[in-house]
């Protein structure tokens, strides 16, 4: 009952000093808004990472024909690869726990034409096994076969985006399109493929036999990568080690020399993505934390001034029977009420901000109860920390000293 009365007194007093209350809130509002947005973005990117790992496949390994290098350092386009088709065969023959080995080459922005229409698509050069990796279905026709590959057939499977662009109304199987000026006959059309982990339109793709690509288009011996699906993902790490050994042997790499290829596991994909978004989040949380501390200092200062200004009120309350604890609770509740109100406004603004980021930015966000709870929790903590000193000062005033002012 007494506590409720103190709370009522506190809210009453705040309402009578709207400007002061608002000034106290600003810092808290900014801090909590920032924290809410950060939490929404952190959760959003966490969801994105999980999705990326899932798309990558939790039971798949990728080998690339280059040593791992920092993103964006080498030239874009066609860095030379160290992998050859023989590596894929060596893996298939020498490593246990493997269900599918799919060697491939990729080229982004390949020139694809039909009559006067033009597209820049992703060119994938793959083998028959590739379709088993991705659980894709055919809309029309068939996927590339081993025979196509052996015969260096100029056949192509196109994605739905390419089909819609070139042949919106018809079944295009049997028609001929040009890829990098080489004519290819359409053998099949993929059903919906969705987006890649990076948000790229997977439907905008043309898929040709790997050997056809190597001999007729790129004129090269090397392939870009090998995607390997394991039978039992529990032994993924062991299998990855085995694969590394096989490739090192086939490339003649001595002990102590570095790999001339890189092997990427689902764990690494997750760790790398988390590392990037983690660094970003730590920085933002530091900034938000600093603004909250600054906000708390402002609140503490204004409350201290307010205690001096309201000496008379404190003296009066004490003269009519308020005990130390009544005054302490009143001022503490006042501070907490300010910071929690500020925190609630901050949470609302933060959610609004997160929505805006989602609408207009590339950043994925997720709005969650955790975010709201953390925001409000922080504002209560800031309220207690910044309110305790002024409240103690107020409660210790002697009634007669306070009344004399």
Q: Does 318 bind another protein (CB under 8 A)?
A: yes
Q: What are phi and psi of 81, to 5 degrees?
A: -105, 155
For the chain, the first-to-last Cα distance in angstroms comes to 31
Nearest-approach distance from CB 17 to another protein, in angstroms? 8
Q: Does 76 bind another protein (CB under 8 A)?
A: no
Q: Does 399 bind another protein (CB under 8 A)?
A: yes
Which of 384, 390, 392, 386 shows the shortest CA–CA distance to 325?
392
Q: Does 317 bind another protein (CB under 8 A)?
A: yes
Q: Does 322 bind another protein (CB under 8 A)?
A: yes
CB 258 within 8 A of CB 133: no
Q: Does 3 bind another protein (CB under 8 A)?
A: no
Residues in contact with 196: Cβ distance below 8 Å, sequence separation at least 6, in sequence order: 55, 202
Nearest-approach distance from CB 13 to another protein, in angstroms? 9
- Please pick, from the candidates 9, 206, 207, 354, the single residue that binds another protein as defined by CB under 8 A: 9
Residue 217 tokens read as: 């288009």
Q: Does 308 bind another protein (CB under 8 A)?
A: no
Q: Which is nearer to another protein, 52 or 317 (CB)?
A: 317
Residue 201 tokens read as: 């339109």
Count Cα neighbours of 242 within 13 Å in the Cβ-side half-sphere: 17
Q: Does 312 bind another protein (CB under 8 A)?
A: yes
Nearest-approach distance from CB 396 to another protein, in angstroms? 9
Q: Does 120 bind another protein (CB under 8 A)?
A: no
Q: Which is nearer to another protein, 2 or 146 (CB)?
A: 2
Dihedral sign from CA coordinates of 200, 206, 208, 214: negative
CB under 8 A: which stretch of 196-204, 285-293, 309-317, 333-341 binds another protein?
309-317
Three-state DSSP class for residue 196? coil
Q: Which is nearer to another protein, 212 or 395 (CB)?
A: 395
How many other CB atoms are there within 10 angstroms of residue 192's CB atom? 12
Three-state DSSP class for residue 380? helix
Residue 93 tokens read as: 């023959």
Nearest-approach distance from CB 26 to another protein, in angstroms? 23
Q: What residues make contact with another protein under the rule CB under 8 A?
A: 2, 5, 9, 12, 16, 312-313, 316-326, 399-400, 403
């Amino acid at each position: 009952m007494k506590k409720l009365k103190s709370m009522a007194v506190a809210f009453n007093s705040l309402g009578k000093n709207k400007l002061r209350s608002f000034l106290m809130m600003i810092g808290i509002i900014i801090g909590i808004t920032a924290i809410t947005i950060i939490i929404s973005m952190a959760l959003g990117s966490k969801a994105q990472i999980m999705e990326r790992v899932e798309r990558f496949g939790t039971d798949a390994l990728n080998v690339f024909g280059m040593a791992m290098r920092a993103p964006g350092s080498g030239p874009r386009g066609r860095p030379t690869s160290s992998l050859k088709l023989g590596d894929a065969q060596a893996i298939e023959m020498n490593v246990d726990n493997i269900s599918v080995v799919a060697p491939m080459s990729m080229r982004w922005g390949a020139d694809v034409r039909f009559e006067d229409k033009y597209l820049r698509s992703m060119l994938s050069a793959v083998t028959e096994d590739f379709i088993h990796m991705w659980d894709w279905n055919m809309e029309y026709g068939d996927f590339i076969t081993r025979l196509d590959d052996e015969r260096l057939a100029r056949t192509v499977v196109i994605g739905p985006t390419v089909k819609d662009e070139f042949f919106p109304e018809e079944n295009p199987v049997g028609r001929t399109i040009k890829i990098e000026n080489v004519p290819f006959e359409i053998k099949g059309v993929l059903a919906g493929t969705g987006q890649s982990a990076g948000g790229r339109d997977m439907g905008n793709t043309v898929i040709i036999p790997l050997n056809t690509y190597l001999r007729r288009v790129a004129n090269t011996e090397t392939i870009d990568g090998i995607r390997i699906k394991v039978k039992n993902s529990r032994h993924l790490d062991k299998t990855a080690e085995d694969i590394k050994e096989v490739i090192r042997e086939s490339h003649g790499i001595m002990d102590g020399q570095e790999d001339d290829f890189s092997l990427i596991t689902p764990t690494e994909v997750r760790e790398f993505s988390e590392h990037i978004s983690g660094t970003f989040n730590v920085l933002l949380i530091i900034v938000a934390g600093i603004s909250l501390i600054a906000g708390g200092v402002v609140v503490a200062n204004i409350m201290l001034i307010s205690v001096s200004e309201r000496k008379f009120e404190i003296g009066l309350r004490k003269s009519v029977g308020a005990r130390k604890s009544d005054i302490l609770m009143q001022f503490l509740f006042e501070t907490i009420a300010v910071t929690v109100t500020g925190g609630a406004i901050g949470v609302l603004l933060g959610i609004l901000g997160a929505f805006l980021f989602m609408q207009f930015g590339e950043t994925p966000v997720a709005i969650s109860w955790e975010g709201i709870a953390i925001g409000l929790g922080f504002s209560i903590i800031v309220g207690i920390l910044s309110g305790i000193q002024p409240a103690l000062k107020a409660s210790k005033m002697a009634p007669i000293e306070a009344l004399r002012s």
